[in-house]
Chains A and B, each alone.
Chain A
Amino acid sequence: MNPPAVHCHQIHRHFGNGDTRVHVLRGIDFTAASGQITFLAGPSGCGKTTLISVIAGLLQPSSGSVSLFGRDLASMPPDDAVRLRRKDIGFVFQQYHLIPALSVAENVAVPLLAASMKRRDALEQASAILDKLGLGDRLHQPPARLSGGQQQRVALARALVHQPRLVICDEPTAALDHETGHRVMELLAASAVHPDRAVLVVSHDNRIFHFADAIAHMDDGIITHIDHPNATTTA
C-alpha cells in the first residue's frame, strides 16, 4: 500500500515569545490520502493556513513531524525540500498571486521554468493546460484583463501544469462569487483527482464541501473531527 500523500504527527507551532507568544497549532494529527480531495475547514484564525504552510515545508513546526509521500520533511536536506516543492506540489492561493507583468501563459509556465525547462517547451505545456481549462484564447493577455474567476483558473493551471502529486489550495473560492467558485472547484475536482494525486483544500465555504472526500474540521489549533460526506451519502 502507498504511503499517504500527507501525514502529520503531533504538530505544534507557536509564534512569538513571552507575553506575545501564541500557540497556533496544538498537536495536529492529520492524514490526506492520495486519490482524494481533503478539505480543511474551520473558523478564521484557527490555524488552517499555518498548518498548510507547515505541510508545504514553508514553515518549520515547533515540534512534530510531517511526511509527504512517506518522506519525512525534517530529515530532508533543504535543497531536497525545495526540489520536492518544485516537482511535487502545486499551489492555489486565495489572492491568485499571478505575476501581473507576465502573460497568462508565462504565469502558468513559471513552475516549469523554475525547474529549468526550456522556455518554448514550458510555454507549450502551459498553453495545453490552459486550453483544457477553457482559457486557450487568453494565452497572451496580462492577468489583469481577466475576471476573478478566470484568474483563479489561470492559478489552477499553474498549480497543475507540472503534474504535481499534491495540490494545496488556500481558500481558492473565497474571493469569488458562488457560481464562479463552483466552476473553479469543478475544474479542480475534474483535473486534480487522479489515483496518485492528493488535493488539499482549505476552506470555510460550506457550499463547496460536497466536493470533498474527507473534511477535517479544525478549531483553535486542533483537528476536532473528520467527516466523509460522500461516504455518508452512499451509506
Chain B
Amino acid sequence: MIRIALTMLRTDRAKCTAMILAVTFSVFLMQNQCAILASLYRMMTAQIDDVTDAPLWVMEPDTRCFEQAKPVKDGTLERVRSRSGVAWAVPLLKIDTMARSDSGLLCTVTVMGVDEASMVGLPSRFRIGQPEAIRPAGTCAVDPGGYAQLFPGEPVHFPRRIRILDESLVLTGMTEASAPFTGFPILHCSRVTALRLNKAENRTATFIIGDFTPGANRAAVCESITAATGLSAMDRAGFGEMARRFYNSQGVPRLFWITIAIGLLTGTAITAQTFSMFVREHTTQLAVCRVMGVTRARIIAMVLCQGLFVLSIGCAFGTGLTAITTHAAASEPFLRGIVLPPQVAAGTCAALAAITIAAVTIMARRVALMDPAIVFRS
C-alpha cells in the first residue's frame, strides 16, 4: 500500500514537483544563509583558535576582537610573566599593511610576528615548508588562500618575493592558517621581521600570549594580570566569546537569521499548503482504500510516506545545491572561509522536516479519521 501511496504522489506531477521544489529552495536558502553565518562565526575566531599552543591571551582593554586589536605598551610582557599562575608568556605582533607581489599586484595583508625563540603563535600545521624556515629575518609563510590572492592563477612554488613598505620579504612556505574574517592573506613571520614593518614606536606586541601553570585557577590568574597591568586577560574561549559578542553587536548575524526564518516559513508553508491540497484531492481514493479494509494506521503510514518522499528528495536536492554553490564560493580565494558544515546541512533539513512532518501527521490523522462512507456520495 506504501508503494501505491507513492505512485499516487508521483502521478500528481504538478503538486509533487511543486512540493519538491518548495523544499529544495527552502533548504537551499536556509543552508546557504546558515553556511555563510556559521562560516562567519568560525572566521570571527579563526586566528584565535589557530594558536593552539597558547591558552592565555592578554590585550588592551579597548580590544574587542582579533581584527580590531590595539597593541599593548612595551614593558607589559615582563609584568605578565611575573604574575603567579603564568607559566610562560610571549609577544605576538599583528600588523595590517599592504603588500605588493613581484608581479606588481597590491593587496592588504595581515602580518603575524611570532616570538622567534619559542615560535609560539603559529598555526599548528604547515602545508609546505616548516616553521624553522621563517625564523630568519626577512622570511615569512603565507596561507593557501593568501597565495592565490597575491599570485592569482600562478602555480605554487617557493621561494617567492613580495614587498611590504620598503622591505623585501621572501615567502618560504605555506601554512594551514584558517580563513580569516577579513578575507585577506595571512603572513606568518618571526617578530624581528614584523618589527621592521611596525610603525608604532613603543608598542611592539599586539597580544601577550602564554599559558597558565598547571592547576592554576584561570579566572583568578586573569584577574590578577588585569589588576597588575590594567590589561584584559582571558583564556582562548573567553577571547573567542568576546569576539563573537562584538560581531553580534554589529547586527550582521540578525540579518542572516531573518533570511533563514523566511526560508523556513515559506518552505514549510508552501509545502504544507500544497500537501494539504494533494491530500484533499485524494481523500476519496484513500476512503476507497479504507472501505476495502485498509486500516487507519496504514492510511496514516501511507500519507506520512508521501510526506517523507517529498521531504527527502527536496532536502537532497537543496543540500546538493548548497554544496555546489558554497564549493564554488570557497574556490574564490577571498571567500575561502565559506563552507557548509555538516551540522548546518543536517540541522536545516531537520528543522524543515520537523515542522513539515508535524503538519503532514495532522493531515494524515485527519484523513484516517474521515468517514469512509463518503465513497458512496461523491
B292-A114 in contact (CB<8A)? yes
A106-B293 in contact (CB<8A)? no
Q: Which residue of B lies closest to A202 (CB)?
A: B376
Binding stretch for chain A, among B7-15, B38-46, B84-92, B223-231: B7-15
B297-313, CB < 8 A from A: 298
B residues in contact with A106, CB < 8 Å: 4, 7
- The docked-state distance in angstroms from the alpha carbon of A158 to that of B288 is 11
A95-B3 in contact (CB<8A)? no
A114-B1 in contact (CB<8A)? yes
B3-A119 in contact (CB<8A)? yes
Q: Which of B8, B11, B12, B292 contacts A91 (CB 8 A)?
A: B292
B376-A53 in contact (CB<8A)? yes
In the assembled complex, B273 has its CB within 8 A of some CB on chain A: no
A100-B292 in contact (CB<8A)? no
Contact mask A70-90 → B, CB, 8 Å, 1/0?
000000000100110111000
B292-A99 in contact (CB<8A)? no
A114-B294 in contact (CB<8A)? yes
- The docked-state distance in angstroms from the alpha carbon of A158 to that of B372 is 17
Q: Which residue of B lies closest to A109 (CB)?
A: B4
* Nearest CB of A to B297, in Å: 10
- The docked-state distance in angstroms from the alpha carbon of A95 to that of B375 is 9
B376-A93 in contact (CB<8A)? yes
In the assembled complex, B295 has its CB within 8 A of some CB on chain A: yes
Q: Which of A52, A100, A101, A119 contacts B376 (CB 8 A)?
A: A52
A residues in contact with B293, CB < 8 Å: 82-83, 85-87, 111, 114-115
A98-126, CB < 8 A from B: 99-102, 106, 110-111, 113-115, 119
Interface residues of A: mostly helix, strand, loop or mixed?
helix
A residues in contact with B375, CB < 8 Å: 91, 93, 97
Give chain B's interface residue range (CB within 8 Å of chain A).
Answer: 20 to 34
Contact mask B350-371 → A, CB, 8 Å, 1/0?
0000000000000000000001
B7-A102 in contact (CB<8A)? yes
Q: Which residue of B lies closest to A93 (CB)?
A: B375
Contact mask A168-192 → B, CB, 8 Å, 1/0?
0010000000000000000000000
In the assembled complex, A22 has its CB within 8 A of some CB on chain B: no
Q: Which residue of A lies closest to B11 (CB)?
A: A101
A99-B285 in contact (CB<8A)? yes
User: With A97-B284, A100-B11 in contact, do A91 and B4 touch (Cβ < 8 Å)?
Assistant: no
Q: Which of A59, A79, A99 contacts B288 (CB 8 A)?
A: A99
B7-A101 in contact (CB<8A)? yes
A residues in contact with B376, CB < 8 Å: 49, 52-53, 93, 170
B residues in contact with A119, CB < 8 Å: 3
B291-A85 in contact (CB<8A)? yes
* Nearest CB of A to B15, in Å: 12
In the assembled complex, A166 has its CB within 8 A of some CB on chain B: no
B residues in contact with A114, CB < 8 Å: 1, 289, 292-294, 298
A residues in contact with B285, CB < 8 Å: 97, 99
- The docked-state distance in angstroms from the alpha carbon of A36 to that of B116 is 105
- The docked-state distance in angstroms from the alpha carbon of A115 to that of B7 is 19
B residues in contact with A113, CB < 8 Å: 1, 4
* Nearest CB of B to A122, in Å: 11
* Interface, chain A (partner B; CB < 8 A): 49, 52-53, 56, 58-59, 79, 82-83, 85-87, 91, 93, 95, 97, 99-102, 106, 110-111, 113-115, 119, 158, 170
